[in-house]
Amino acid sequence: MSTTSVENAGVENTGQNTGATAPLRVAVLVGSVREGRQGPAVTDWFTRVAAAHGGLELDVIDLAEVDLPLVMPGWGGEVDPRAVAALAEVSPRLAAADAFVVVTPEYNHSFPAVLKNLIDWHRTEWYAKPVGFVSYGGLGGGLRAVEQLRLVFAELHATTVRDSVSLHGPWSGLGEDGQPLDRTVAEGAAKGMLGQLTWWGRALRTARADLPYQG
């Protein structure tokens, strides 16, 4: 499972999630596992923009490398050893995050099943944290997937930021150089979303430290 960390130059990482100057820990979820997927390329572009934004510590979680089964145990039932191993790897990273960015395509007017599976295997890891979105593909640019994800995260006591990044193919899709064809618009949208995510991430991190969220 790959991990990418990017810290703002000149900002010391104290290892604490509290404090006004500590980098905001953002877990970036690559939400497509289909062969020939564009998710990793979109994620690479986005993390470059996020690194330039500064003040962030990024952890890229590629769901193609998270071997979570679809079958879940009953309440109080024994968890499959394969799930135990996968959760031991991914759950602490979700719990440590101050915020999330979901990179997703749109499948049949919705989001990929692998995303829902990861979300459903967890609960408190999402509580009182902000979620941003980077979507891509087709005329809609993945926006219908994002709107449905907002409903799911609301149920899990997470706050989705208003603005999202949407790459509409082929006009704003990625070129051969890995950059959006409409780079100015795409980077502007990413910076706007990151600004909102950072504000909510810091505000909610402080709130959770002062008064743990009960759900």
Domain count, the chain: 1
Amino acid at 134: V
The verdict on residue 30 lying in a domain is yes
Residue 5 confidence (pLDDT): 43
pLDDT tens string, the chain, 215 residues long: the values are 444 444 333 333 333 445 567 999 999 999 999 999 999 999 999 999 999 999 999 999 999 999 999 998 888 888 999 999 999 999 999 999 999 999 999 999 999 999 999 999 999 999 999 999 999 988 899 999 999 999 999 999 999 999 999 999 877 888 988 889 999 999 999 999 999 999 999 999 999 999 999 98
Q: Would strands 99-105 and 56-62 be described as parallel, antiparallel, or unpaired?
A: unpaired
The verdict on residue 92 lying in a domain is yes
Tell which residue, 123, 118, 122, 92, has the closest CA to residue 103. 118
Positive/negative CA dihedral, 133, 30, 177, 137: negative
The verdict on residue 38 lying in a domain is yes
Amino acid at 120: D
The verdict on residue 37 lying in a domain is yes
Residue 185 confidence (pLDDT): 94
What is the rounded CA–CA span in Å between residue 179 and residue 181? 6
Residue 12 confidence (pLDDT): 34
Beta strands (DSSP E) in the chain are 24-30, 56-62, 99-105, 130-136, 159-160, 165-167
The verdict on residue 11 lying in a domain is no
Residue 170 confidence (pLDDT): 74
How many C-alpha atoms does 61 have within 13 Å on its Cβ side? 28
Tell which residue, 191, 160, 150, has the closest CA to residue 46. 191
What is the rounded CA–CA span in Å between residue 27 and residue 97? 6
The verdict on residue 18 lying in a domain is no
Report the SS3 class of residue 177: coil
Secondary element (H or E) of residue 59: strand 56-62
The verdict on residue 214 lying in a domain is no
- Whose structure tokens read 């990418």? 4
CATH number of the domain to which 107 belongs:
3.40.50.360
- Class of residue 214 by CB neighbours under 10 A (exposed 0-12, middle 13-18, buried 19+): exposed
Q: Would strands 159-160 and 130-136 be described as parallel, antiparallel, or unpaired?
A: parallel
Residue 125 structural domain: 24-71+82-209
pTM of the model: 0.89
The verdict on residue 44 lying in a domain is yes
